Amino acid sequence: MAESDDHVPSRVLLDEPYPENLPVVPSCTTCNTGFSLDEEYLACLIECARAGSVEAVGRPKIRRILERSPALVARLHQARRESLFGDVEFVPELPRVSNVLVKLARGHAAFELSQPLHHAPDSVRSAPLCTLKPEAIDAFEVAPDIGAGIWPEVGSRAMQRLVVSQTAGLVTMDWITVQEGQYRYLATASSSAVVRMVIGEYLACEVVWDELYP
């Protein structure tokens, strides 16, 4: 039962001032608040990984979260690894990351595609962009062809955003930038649904439902 509104993406992933017309989807209060700690964890993890340090994060919002969350700081320190060559990496708590990515993907599917995807996705993947090979980045950035067999609901944002390629005759969708350098996403659906997100221009994410209905 929808008792509150949920911002998609979560505001912890964005900087102030927030974008106008930030996407909002209905949510139950428990769901809306139940992910807050995981969302803070992911936002802080990304900034620490970008900086290579828990103490040297650049975003003021993340610094404030860390200042009031000693337990989170301790977990991030435990996740930090440094190789013999001085390379720094952070080992993520994958269930917490997946929780947030699935929540975000469901919100984008509901807002853009008018698809309530309450069942579990078939695939949840994420990786830093800097670790991907150029051909993998190219494939990730190109919107999947959704074909002509199934079109979005009339009046939905997805229908309004359809772009028909004049050269190839493909039905595709554009990436949507919520905040430059902080968050962008892509949502497509045919017989399946694919939601891709880039957080902090650092983490590339993809959530896939092979079937729209379980």
CA pair distance 38, 93, nearest whole angstrom? 10
pTM across the whole model: 0.84
Helix, coil or strand: residue 94: helix
Q: State yes or no: pLDDT of 192 exceeds 90.
A: no
The percent of residues in the chain predicted with pLDDT above 70, rounded, is 80
Phi, psi of 184 (to 5 degrees): -145, 160
Q: Which of 183, 207, 30, 199 lies closest to 115, judged by CA?
A: 207
CA pair distance 89, 48, nearest whole angstrom? 9
The 10s digit of each residue's pLDDT in 147-165 is 544 445 555 555 555 544 4
Q: Give the mean pLDDT of 109-113.
A: 88
Q: Which of 27, 154, 54, 37 lies closest to 96, judged by CA?
A: 37
Q: Which residue has the higher pLDDT, 52 or 33?
A: 52
DSSP type of residue 201 = T
Q: State yes or no: pLDDT of 1 exceeds 50.
A: no
| pLDDT on residue 22 | 85
Mean per-residue pLDDT of the chain: 84
